[in-house]
Amino acid sequence: AQSVAQPEDQVNVAEGNPLTVKCTYSVSGNPYLFWYVQYPNRGLQFLLKYITGDNLVKGSYGFEAEFNKSQTSFHLKKPSALVSDSALYFCARDAGNNRKLIWGLGTSLAVNP
């Protein structure tokens, strides 16, 4: 079955330091992979996606993600974290034909001043 795993429930990083939020996916076809961010009591905001091509994807708010097929990973990164980046981050993959998204459990990112 198709699945997405986010191995860390929480990530803590100091402001100004680089951040990484990890995501791995089950091997099934050619997945389309997504990152969304969720602020408290808000909906999900799209950050970036990997469809094909360059393995390094750049997205909103200075975030980027690297698609690694051999490690079946799609980690989210940012060179310099901001306190305002503190939120819940979700990795997702499509189930094919854009029928639905399959989600990880989310990683809570806390950026400390």
C-alpha 15/C-alpha 33 separation (Å) is 27
What is the smallest separation between the CB atom of 25 and another protein, expressed in angstroms?
Answer: 13
C-alpha 99/C-alpha 95 separation (Å) is 6
**Residue 98: both structure tokens together:** 């854009």
Nearer Cβ to another protein (70/98) = 98
Nearer Cβ to another protein (78/90) = 90
18 binds another protein (CB under 8 A): no
| Distances, alpha carbon 41 to alpha carbons 31, 38, 88, 108, in Å | 29, 8, 11, 14
The residues pairing with 6 across neighbouring beta strands, listed in sequence order, are: none
Nearer Cβ to another protein (46/61) = 46
Identify the residue among 51, 56, 83, 110 touching another protein (CB under 8 A): 51
**What does the binding site for another protein look like in residue numbers (CB under 8 A)?**
32, 34, 36, 41-46, 49, 51, 90, 92, 94, 96-106
